[in-house]
């Protein structure tokens, strides 16, 4: 086995591990019954150097609305904005999750407070 094969196999394995690890949060958010559990899962999920997938974000926002925690639902999108590498990625997330935001009535902080930078 050459070095490039090992590197690519290792990277694929790491990517699978990360996907499994982050996707477990989707299941965790589905089980959230109170604000404490929501906050704990959000803190753990956003602690990684990676941006959670749109499916994980969807589960997080739905959990926030389920436990009637509107501020956390808005803050999830702030977390995404902070985690992405550039504005283009943030825009892609917003486009992907626009239907969810409309369905659940979740505005963005930058829409609620346009003068704040």
Q: What residue ranges do the domains of the chain occupy? A: 3-112
> Using 50, 70 and 90 to split pLDDT, how confident is the model at 18?
very low
Average pLDDT over residues 4-24: 47
Phi then psi for 103, rounded to 5 degrees? -60, -45
Ramachandran class of 106: left when φ > 0, alpha when ψ lies in -120 to 50, beta otherwise: beta
- Round to the nearest angstrom and report the end-to-end CA distance of the chain: 52
Global confidence as pTM:
0.79
Average pLDDT over residues 68-88: 94
Q: Residue 22 has what pLDDT?
A: 62
In the predicted model, is pLDDT for residue 10 greater than 60?
no
Give how far Cα 116 sits from Cα of 62, 70, 94, 106, Å: 26, 20, 19, 18
Kindly compute the dihedral angle of the four CA atoms of residues 97, 18, 32, 34, in this order, to the nearest 10 degrees.
Answer: -90
In the predicted model, is pLDDT for residue 3 greater than 90?
no
Q: Residue 116 has what pLDDT?
A: 73
Instruction: Domain 3-112: give its CATH superfamily.
Output: Cytochrome c oxidase, subunit Va/VI (1.25.40.40)
């Amino acid at each position: 086995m050459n070095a490039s094969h090992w590197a690519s196999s290792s990277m694929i394995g790491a990517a699978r591990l990360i996907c499994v690890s982050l996707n477990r949060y989707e299941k965790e958010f589905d089980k959230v019954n109170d604000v404490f559990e929501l906050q704990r899962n959000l803190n753990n999920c956003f602690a990684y150097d990676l941006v959670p997938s749109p499916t994980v974000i969807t589960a997080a926002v739905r959990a926030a609305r389920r436990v009637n925690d509107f501020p956390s639902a808005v803050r999830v999108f702030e977390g995404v904005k902070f985690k992405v590498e550039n504005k283009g990625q943030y825009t892609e997330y917003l486009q992907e999750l626009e239907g969810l935001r409309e369905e659940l009535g979740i505005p963005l902080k930058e829409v609620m407070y346009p003068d704040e930078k």
